Amino acid sequence: MTCYKEWLINFNAEKRSKVRFVDDNTLKVEKAGDVVILRKDGSKAVIANVLFVLKLKCNLLSIGQLVHKGFTTVMRNYDRVELFDVNKNLILRSKISKNRTFQVNMKAVDV
């Protein structure tokens, strides 16, 4: 999920719904689209069907949804996670933060 509309390509405006969070709050999904990510080696990776949620305070990646889309996640040494695409290319790597979340710095490509 992202609040950055400019990151999305191949919009699906019919993808309107709500997302529910652990505290039972909900936010409206405006539409969905694909996000093209620039990898460190300069190549590009696509995460399809990313939800656009205008009032979202930070971008969220769902490991379960990524696995459902064919990505592989590997958690190593109790302190990092790696995400690979269907071709086994590394998409991102992140160390665990003090609050036990994985914060990722990634760059979406303006297409």
pLDDT in tens, 48-66: 989 999 998 888 888 888 9
**How many domains does the chain fold into?**
1
pLDDT at 40: 79
Asked if 30 contacts 47 with a C-beta cutoff of 8 angstroms, the reply is no
Burial 53-68 (b: 16+ CB within 10 A, else e): beebeebebeeeebee
What's the pTM value of the predicted model, to 2 decimals?
A: 0.79
Low pLDDT (below 50) residues in the chain: none
- Residue 9 Cα distances to 24, 43, 76, 85, angstroms: 30, 17, 32, 19
- The whole-number pLDDT of residue 110 equals 67
What is the domain extent for residue 15? 5-108
Answer positive or negative: Cα dihedral of 41, 44, 50, 54.
Answer: positive
